[in-house]
Amino acid sequence: MAHAAPRSRAAIERSGTTDVFGARTHTAAKIAIPVLLGLVYGYWAAGNRRDAGPITGWNLLFGFLTALVFAVVLMALLALAPKLPREAHAVTWGAFAGAAVGFLFSQAGGSVLRSTALALAVAAGTTLLMFYRYYTHEPT
Domain ranges of the chain: 23-72, 84-140
Q: Mean pLDDT across the stretch 24-40?
A: 92
When pLDDT is cut at 50, 70 and 90, the band that residue 77 belongs to is very high
Q: Who wins on pLDDT, 68 or 21? A: 68
Q: Mean pLDDT across the stretch 3-32?
A: 76
When pLDDT is cut at 50, 70 and 90, the band that residue 88 belongs to is very high
pLDDT of residue 22: 80
Q: For residue 21, is pLDDT > 90?
A: no
pLDDT of residue 12: 63
Whether the CB-CB separation of 102 and 122 falls below 8 Å is answered with yes
When pLDDT is cut at 50, 70 and 90, the band that residue 107 belongs to is very high
Whether the CB-CB separation of 115 and 102 falls below 8 Å is answered with yes
Q: Mean pLDDT across the stretch 37-45?
A: 95
Q: For residue 91, is pLDDT > 80?
A: yes
Whether the CB-CB separation of 62 and 46 falls below 8 Å is answered with yes
Whether the CB-CB separation of 86 and 131 falls below 8 Å is answered with yes
Q: Mean pLDDT across the stretch 111-127?
A: 96
Three-state DSSP state, 84: coil
Q: How far apart are CA 100 and CA 37, in angstroms?
A: 12
